[in-house]
Amino acid sequence: MKHYDFDEIIERRGTNCVKYDELKDYFGNDNLVPLWVADMDFRTPDFIVDALKKRCEHEVFGYTFGSNDYYNSIINWVKYKHDWEIRREWLSYIPGIVKGIGFAVQCFTQPGDKVIIQPPVYHPFRLVPQHLHREVVYNPLKMVDGVYRMDFEQLETIIDGCKMLILCNPHNPGGVVWEKSELQQLAEICAKHHVLVVSDEIHCEMTYPPFTHHPFASVSDTAAVGSITFMAPSKTFNIAGIVTSYAIIPDEALRNQFYSFLEAGEFNAGTIFAYAATEAAYTYGAEWLQQMRTYVVDNVRFVDNYLKDNIPQIKVYLPQASFLVWLDCSDMKLSQTELVDLFQNKAGLALNDGSIFGPGGEGHMRLNVGCPRSVLVSALSSLKKALCK
């Protein structure tokens, strides 16, 4: 068994890397420690790099299509990881999950229609419908025994007249792996009100034991006929720049409508490297994923223990999935402006401002722990020193 080195420091500056090379544009300071954009600082696995190199050796990069091996790699991986048997005709490449959400909004709703999101949640869920002139309706999550849960009572009060609900499964930034019963109840409510569920499951492979990810469409027949699922190997294998997303739609009517929309603009046409990277990731990636996930879980534990011992007024929502950690800073009694100033200007750290995730995000910051532990040691030390000044 090969041992992968996640402690390695890799210089990413100067590679047109958003996380590092756009610090100046986003934060006004390019000397911050970047712990924001949701990609990892780990080297992309060798089996993916080798597959890309092998394809480059051919030296002709003409029009391409997804092979049977590509589609079978997805089908086999989804069965292996999630015990969900999917079919070839259910699948289509999409050029990114946020773009897929935009396509779904355009395909299934009209300007002025209402789209439900569950804040605090990944901010494009709000921005995409708004930019497409849809009305965003909030179904805020509620805190139950220290864990975010869906508020079905509130959902029933706001769902009439809505056309779509965008689900984050697992949840970003809260790191929640939804229980099967929750997803089943959500499916029933949405079906009763004729609301289409679009489920973003990009973090699903990062689910930590003992939790189990349940693809939304797999939890019931009701969910299957009323939903679109988006997945990708991009977060899991650190290949976001290759754009490897795909859609899964069991229902024939939904599938025909959405895939016709994609085909009209050739949005379902992947690139040579997307197909090669996906096939390699899903064929050879199980061991790498296990080692990476173990390392990230240890990073989460390190952050949690460090804050408890040194900065107890900042609390960690222990994620059940993902390399993103949601920090509750409300006990610090700072305004959001003061909180951001503490992390950014005083500690020299670039995290995501919790307020961008919508209602419930105030008093929080989102920390990316998909990096060598030495980076976290240095970052948290800087935060502790900033608080002592």
CB 243 within 8 A of CB 233: no
Quick: pLDDT tens for 307-327. 999 999 999 999 999 999 999
Give the CA angle between residues 29, 31, 32 to the nearest 5°: 85
Same-domain status, 257 and 310 = no
Same-domain status, 23 and 165 = no
CA 217: distance to chain centroid?
18
Same-domain status, 280 and 320 = no
Same-domain status, 175 and 94 = yes
User: How many C-beta atoms lie closer than 10 Å to residue 15's C-beta?
Assistant: 11
Distance CA 268, CA 261 (A): 9
Average pLDDT of the chain is 98
CB 370 within 8 A of CB 40: yes
Q: Comparing C-alpha atoms, which of 351, 236, 205, 294 is closest to residue 6? A: 294
Same-domain status, 78 and 222 = yes
Quick: pLDDT tens for 325-358. 999 999 999 999 999 999 999 999 999 999 999 9
Same-domain status, 31 and 98 = no
Q: Comparing C-alpha atoms, which of 79, 84, 87 is closest to residue 286? A: 79
* In-domain check, residue 335: yes
pLDDT confidence of 1, banded at 50, 70, 90?
A: confident
Quick: pLDDT tens for 42-94. 999 999 999 999 999 999 999 999 999 999 999 999 999 999 999 999 999 99
Same-domain status, 360 and 239 = no
Quick: pLDDT tens for 169-196. 999 999 999 999 999 999 999 999 999 9
Q: Comparing C-alpha atoms, which of 170, 276, 171, 183 is closest to residue 224? A: 183
CB 214 within 8 A of CB 183: yes
pTM for this model (two decimals): 0.97
Distance CA 3, CA 254 (A): 44
Using DSSP's 3-state secondary structure scheme, residue 83 falls into: coil
Give the pLDDT confidence score for residue 389 in this predicted structure: 72
In the 8-state DSSP scheme, what is residue 303?
Answer: H
- Rounded to an integer, the average pLDDT of 31-38 is 98
- Respond yes or no on whether the N-terminal peptide bond of residue 170 is cis (omega within 30° of 0): yes
The domain that holds 376 is classified in CATH as 3.90.1150.10
Query: What range defines the domain where residue 333 resides?
Result: 18-45+286-388
Distance CA 36, CA 222 (A): 37
Listed residues 262, 284, 306: the one ending a domain: 284
Give the pLDDT confidence score for residue 38 in this predicted structure: 97
Q: Are strands 352-353 and 91-93 parallel, antiparallel or unpaired?
A: unpaired
